[in-house]
Amino acid sequence: MSVVDNSQRSNACGGLEVDFYWYHGGGGTTDDHIALAVDALMAAIKTPACRLWNPYNERLTRAMFKKRLEKAAQGKLRPPQELKSLRGADILFEIRWTDVNVHERPTDGPERHITVEVRLIHAQPYDALGLCILGLHAHEKTIIIDDEKATKDIQDGQIDIAERRLLSGRSECWGVTRRR
């Protein structure tokens, strides 16, 4: 089931409202869990040591992540630009960001501004948590120029992380408290 295809609970604008949980996020509101997911997304793109962040750019990037996640919780994402089913089984999905601006100071060249792609892999375990998005893993998409297979292999590794969390976390309800 995909949040864009299900119409069990609509909001005033006609989109589907869902709960949003972040893996091992405990209790709290959708906003609390979205904040945890934004932190995970930022951590993913801050990992390279050569990245430079000024407070303005970081606030802008955080706001962009938050807005898309809020849109997801409202059931208003547009596939395939913002949402995609992974591995064709409609078990795992990714929320997608392209053209995320970052500033780098590499050791082997001049400072540069580049854009990166960022992904949040999630599941929708309706049987355990009701109508929801369960964020499992955030990562920056690694693209190997002129090597689609290597790029796909790296992406598959990221999906595997999310899939392991989905399967291993079920017995403990993924470390979250169901709201409804």
Task: Write down the pLDDT at residue 87.
Answer: 81
Running along the chain, 180 residues long, what does each successive block of 10 average in pLDDT?
43 66 96 98 96 95 98 92 86 96 94 97 94 97 97 97 97 93
Task: Write down the pLDDT at residue 15.
Answer: 61
DSSP 146: T
Is the alpha carbon torsion for 146, 81, 72, 65 positive or negative?
Answer: positive
43/37 Cα distance (integer angstroms): 10
**Full-model pTM:** 0.90
| Buried residues in 45-71 as b, exposed as e (16+ CB within 10 A) | beeeeeeeeeeeeeeebeebbbebbeb
Residue for token digits 């399967």? 167
